[in-house]
A and B are shown apart, each in its own frame.
Chain A
Amino acid sequence: MSHSDTIPLHASSQSDIDEIENLINASVQSGPATVLPARPPSPPRIPVSSSPFIPSNLPPLPSTHQKPSFVPSVPSAPPPPPVNSHSSIGASGFGSPPNTLTEPVWDTVKRDLSRIVSNLKLVVFPNPYREDPGKALRDWDLWGPFFFIVFLGLTLSWSASVKKSEVFAVAFALLAAGAVILTLNVLLLGGHIIFFQSLSLLGYCLFPLDIGAVICMLKDNVIIKVAVVCVTLAWSSWAAYPFMSSAVNPRRKALALYPVFLMYVSVGFLIIAID
């Protein structure tokens, strides 16, 4: 970049931007440096950061046609040379650009993956934020739950010696519908949760049961299975407890928690019973 920007960045983007900026500074700038007039900052629809996020780690396209350069609030230079080859998706070099609209594809992937990991850690493992559940899953996402549900279905299906397809379909439908119904249950009890946040939570809490299912798949002894399932069941319930209980009126806590426990118990039975 020909100059450095002084606009404060969102913490999580900082290191990425630094890395990319260093690469840009080290490279030769090709193409016209489009300097466009700064536009007035728009109303808060750019929540993450409003600074020029230096773009693409993609190979710059030869400019056989006018490539629109996306204007940031500060003018900046065109794309740098490729950093890695991951972003095969997402074509041509993007001009200058701020905010998440024009960040490189690889960054989006990384961001999503790290979000899954951090959500998992927050929900399933002991951590200081457990007392404030609203904050814990602030950044909900449904990818983690999706993977866990499919994984559980696959594990159960693999363990089954007959009717594999039915087992998978039942497991998936049970978990997906169960999560939706449990969320509706809390909402109908007058609780304050956000639909997707709750779905996300219930999905992440399946992680211990996933582990239990894998262990049960490997070891065929009934006693071990029962023990493992009990442990993972308790772990799942413990993970889901603070979130669910804080969402409803204290007098109705049991009403909200009981169905969650019931669902996990039924999944536990499914794991034990599969042979």
Chain B
Amino acid sequence: MDLTQPPGENYANPRTCFFHVLFKAAALAFYILSALFIDNFVIIFVVTVLLAALDFWVVKNVSGRILVGLRWWNEINDLGESVWKFESLEQESLARLNKKDSWLFWWTLYLTAVAWVVLGIFSLIRFQADYCLIIGVCLTLSVANIIGFTKCRKDAKKQIQKFASQTIANRVSSTIQSAFSVV
């Protein structure tokens, strides 16, 4: 995938990428390994869910912004209705984002959710209801981020298209105006 890229290009934000992956991997690893070493369910639950929550926060607030320039949140407007807000960088900045960064971002997001589903299936097979609880929480957090960012990306594309068509319309009208002023 990197063959067409200039040799110098690498991850533009290595530290962010690292943290983005760190908490996800830590939650999964802890969950998987702890079953072997730790007997206390409470500790497993609390640590795993804490790592998953930290990961959620990091992805939503930090790596989403830095790696792909997207952000989403929910607000309640004055009428008391819930409004989902999406924010993204404008076109030129988006285009300049590092491809590797965004590739890493999206892929790890999807892969984590898949991993949790697989682990959930294992728990279900073994009829371990309390472990399913952990899986449920972690899965909810992952899926929430996936949905949020996917919607945000779609919204960003829409905005770009709107902006582009607006710019073209402006250019056309100003061209016409200048044409008329010359005549």
Tell me whether A164 and B42 are in contact (CB under 8 A): yes
* A146 and B53 contact, Cβ closer than 8 Å, known pairs A100-B71, A108-B62: yes
Q: Which of B8, B76, B89 contacts A65 (CB 8 A)?
A: B8
Q: Give 1 or 0 for each of B119-138: 1 = CB within 8 Å of chain A CB.
A: 00000000001100100000
A74 to B153, CA, bound (A): 25
A88 to B16, CA, bound (A): 9
Number of interface residues of B (CB under 8 A): 48
Chain B residues, Cβ within 8 Å of A138:
75-76
Q: Which A136-190 residues have a C-beta within 8 angstroms of B?
A: 138-140, 143, 146, 150, 153-154, 157, 164-166, 168-169, 172-173
Interface residue? B49 (CB, 8 A): yes
**In the bound complex, how far is the Cα of B12 from the Cα of A94, in angstroms?**
11
- Residues from chain B with a CB closer than 8 A to the CB of A68 are 12, 93, 96-97
A47→B83 CA distance, assembly (Å): 11
User: With A70-B89, A100-B71 known to touch, is A169 a contact of B133 (CB < 8 Å)?
Assistant: yes
Number of interchain pairs (Cβ within 8 Å): 116
Mark the stretch among A20-28, A38-46, A234-242 that contacts chain B: A38-46
Q: Which of A91, A150, A195 has the most CB of B within 10 A?
A: A91
Please determine whether B16 and A91 come into contact, CB atoms closer than 8 angstroms.
Answer: yes
Asked if residues B42 and A101 are in contact (CB atoms below 8 Å), the reply is: no
Q: Which residues of the other chain, B, contact A42 by a CB distance below 8 angstroms? A: 90, 159, 163
Q: Does A102 reach chain B (CB closer than 8 Å)? A: yes
Q: Does A192 contact B (CB under 8 A)?
A: yes
Judged by DSSP, the binding face of B is helix
B154: CB under 8 A from chain A? no
Taking the closest CB of chain A, its distance from the CB of B166, in whole angstroms, is 8
When A105-B62, A146-B53, A169-B41 are in contact, do A91 and B13 touch as well, CB less than 8 Å? yes
Q: Does A89 reach chain B (CB closer than 8 Å)?
A: yes
**Beta-carbon contact of B85 and A65 below 8 Å:** no
A-side interface residues, number (CB < 8 Å): 48
The yes or no answer to A197 lying at the interface (CB within 8 A) is: yes
Partner of B74, one of A67, A90, A196: A196
In the complex, B65 has a CB within 8 A of chain A = yes
Partner of B76, one of A169, A173, A194: A194
Residue of A nearest to B130 (CB): A169
A71: Cβ under 8 A from any B Cβ: yes
Contact yes or no, A89 B58, CB < 8 A: yes
Q: Which of B149-183 contact A (CB under 8 A)?
A: 155, 159, 162-163
Chain B contacts of A46 at CB under 8 A? 87
User: Whole-angstrom distance between the alpha carbons of A101 and B61 in the complex?
Assistant: 9
**Which of A70, A89, A102, A192 makes the CB contact (< 8 A) with B19?**
A89
Chain A residues contacting B82 (CB-CB under 8 Å) are 194-197
15 contacts between A and B (CB under 8 A): A47-B85, A65-B8, A65-B12, A66-B96, A70-B89, A70-B93, A88-B15, A90-B62, A90-B66, A101-B65, A101-B87, A105-B62, A143-B57, A150-B50, A194-B82
8 A-B pairs closest in CB distance:
A165-B41, A68-B96, A91-B13, A169-B130, A91-B15, A194-B82, A168-B42, A91-B16
Q: A90-B15, A168-B42 are in contact. List 13 more A-B contacts (CB 8 A).
A: A45-B87, A65-B10, A68-B96, A69-B93, A71-B90, A92-B12, A101-B89, A108-B62, A134-B76, A139-B76, A157-B42, A165-B41, A168-B41
B residues near A (Cβ < 8 Å) are: 8-10, 12-16, 19, 40-42, 45-46, 49-50, 53, 57-58, 61-62, 65-66, 69, 71, 74-76, 80-82, 85-90, 92-93, 96-97, 129-130, 133, 155, 159, 162-163
